[in-house]
Amino acid sequence: MTKNTMKSKVRVLWLMVFFVIALIALFCRMIYWQVVRGSEMRNIAYNQQTKNRTISPSRGKIYDTNGIVLAESVTVETISVTPKNIKDKEKTAQGLAEILNLDYETILAKTKKNTADEIIAKKLDQSVTEKVRKWMNDENIKGVNIYEDTKRSYPQGALLSHVLGFCGTDNQGLEGLELQYESLLKGVAGQQVVGTDATGAELPLTDEKYIPPEDGLNLVLTIDSSIQYYAESFLDQAVSDNAPVDYASCVIMNPKNGDVLAMAVSPDYNPNEPFAVPVGYEDKWDTMTSSEKSTAWQSIWKNRVVTDVYEPGSVFKTVTASIALEEGLVGNIDAKNFVCTGGLDIEGWRIKCWRYYNPHGVQSLREALMNSCNPVFMGLAMKVGKEKYYSYLNALKVSQKTGIDLPGEVSGSIHSVQNVTGSTIATASFGQGFTLTQLNMLSVISTIANHGIMMKPRIVKEIKNSKGEVVQTIEPVMVKQVFSESTSNAVLDMMESVVSEGTGRNGQVSGYYVAGKTSTAEQGRGADQTFTASFVALAPADDPQVAVILNVVNPRGEHGHQGGAVAAPVVSNILERTLEYLNVPKAYSNTKDTTVKVTVPDVTTRTVGEATKMLTNAGLKYSADTTDANKIVVSQVPVAGEVLVEKSLVKLYLEGNDTRFNTIVPNIVGMDIVSATRTLSNSNLNIKISGNGVVSYQSPSAGTSVEQGSVVRAEFRNQGIDTE
């Protein structure tokens, strides 16, 4: 009996030891999970019991100088599914696929995943998500989630696209100012945290944690949308009139403070749809590889004003003239101290004047600039000497970055003074043998316009918070004074003669004195040679408030490739609109044009009887395909507000009868005002007159099909224009 008792006690003892060891192990395990891995386990539990949603901030807006919105974030919504909560996965996938126009199999696969949340579609307009909500309610659908998001919108469409850039699907800036100012525009994301059950469904009575997003900062630009519109409209017309071309680009600046008023490249793109088929690729897009498509997109997105370099050509003669005057090599700009014999022999190379076949002969510096005579400027540059000449180029930052706050700006290339030869400085004097960007060239020209003072180009002037409070002002920056005011005035005076009497006469603007310079710059050599037709203008000439440079790259149309013929008329159009818009007073009135001007009234929503009476009283003719005076006018061509000559035609389109009729634009180049007006009238077209003499340029060009009643803009110039 005692023996059995002892055995029992031993068993109990071992059992107690076992339990003690088990308790110690359990205690150690608890310490391990609670202390050693406690933080990790709490996070896992938290993630299992909660659902985090990122709340996108509102990306900062971009405004033009007048407060017009150029880029903004608009409210959209995202749709996701919680697979565990979906009862009928096939029905849910089918409904979403039909409403959202998405692939059924792809959505079905997402509904079958073992995850808490699967994104179905992002950045949906609320008009679409409302259809989803109605379907969910009608069909008692569970497990589909809709929550608020934002996307980038550009209300002005393609306007300023190369400057603004665009954003990706995640609202991250990919090009232009959107990329350059990404850190300021993007804001800080918020977060919403809600409790969930084991299936991932939200629990209604749990505490919800909400961290609000911080909206991005807003940019206020120096760009004026109206001037930008003028630049883009006429630039597009230049591309059309001189097709085929590689591209055309334009910059407009206030030379007094460096503010960029407009910057445009044609063809452009719509930043709302940056991955649409680029202009010019429509016919071959479906046969292109992914790499070729990517290259095409990159090409159309490039802001070539700052990313492409070129040899500026004869525009640069203004710089050589400025250096020669500043160094005292020319005392009287009207003294006939120069002779053109058709070219100069330098280092065994005959460098010709563009009019080598009929040399300019004896001339003054003013006449040399008016005639764009190469030998005069070659001789002046060599007299200045390479060290001094290139010291001025360095002071003007020729071939350097301007420092404008746009991505992708590049520097050009120029010889170091140690490597400069006689032929190098000779060709540099008329803008060949080195490269720079178009913005760099305008910055240099603006220095001449601004009393010799160089200003840093500026495109963003203010940064504001979401409350509209200014948090940073980006002030104009003076770089340095390069030329004296007397030199500046003398060169402006000569440049005005270029436009009034020389190769730039197509750049004249009625009522204003314009200073300018033409350029037909060679790009490449031999079989690879192309031309860039360029024109730079400063207006008004005696006190420039606007500086413009326009390049048409590799024009191959019927108008040739000279800057005076291709680029100057376009700049004239842009300047006329811009100066009038800025309320710059005219220097003189044009008394030669005796045609009576009338403003087209708005007759839409009127009866035919009322409309015809209004047009007759205004001195205009009309055309309406009806005899019913009670019919309502729904549209008119030209539109209200257009200023035309008396007895111009207004085409009326009626309610229930809006059939359009086209006509072909006749060629009026070379005609006087009376003949041009009569010719257009015979084709049921109207004329808008600028200047005097004979027609040197028309838009739209001859052969274009347009609506009857459309306006043809005709530039009249005196005959006998040379083009360099």
Q: Which residues pair with 249 in a beta bridge?
A: 265, 551
- What residues have CB less than 8 Å from 416, skipping those under 6 apart? none
Among candidate residues 507, 536, 381, 513, the one with its CA nearest the CA of residue 443? 536
C-beta of residue 705 within 8 angstroms of C-beta of residue 724: no
Token readout for 74 is: 């608009």
Among candidate residues 277, 272, 91, 41, the one with its CA nearest the CA of residue 167? 272
Q: CA-CA distance, 562 to 239, in Å (whole number)?
A: 14
* Annotation marks residue 635 as catalytic: no
Q: CA-CA distance, 583 to 714, in Å (whole number)?
A: 23
Token readout for 186 is: 């993007």
Phi, psi of 473 (to 5 degrees): -110, 125
Name residue, tokens 């000497």.
385
Tell me whether residue 84 is exposed, middle or buried, using C-beta atoms within 10 angstroms of its C-beta: 0 to 12, 13 to 18, 19 or more.
middle
Half-sphere exposure of 590 (CA within 13 A, CB side): 18
C-beta of residue 434 within 8 angstroms of C-beta of residue 428: yes
Q: CA-CA distance, 699 to 43, in Å (whole number)?
A: 70
Q: CA-CA distance, 619 to 626, in Å (whole number)?
A: 21
- What residues have CB less than 8 Å from 284, skipping those under 6 apart? none
Q: Which of 314, 572, 699, 701 is catalytic?
A: 314
Name residue, tokens 């006939």.
336
Amino acid at position 615, single letter: L
Instruction: Return the SS3 of 171.
Output: coil
Among candidate residues 608, 656, 658, 604, the one with its CA nearest the CA of residue 630? 608
C-beta of residue 134 within 8 angstroms of C-beta of residue 146: no
Active site residues: 314
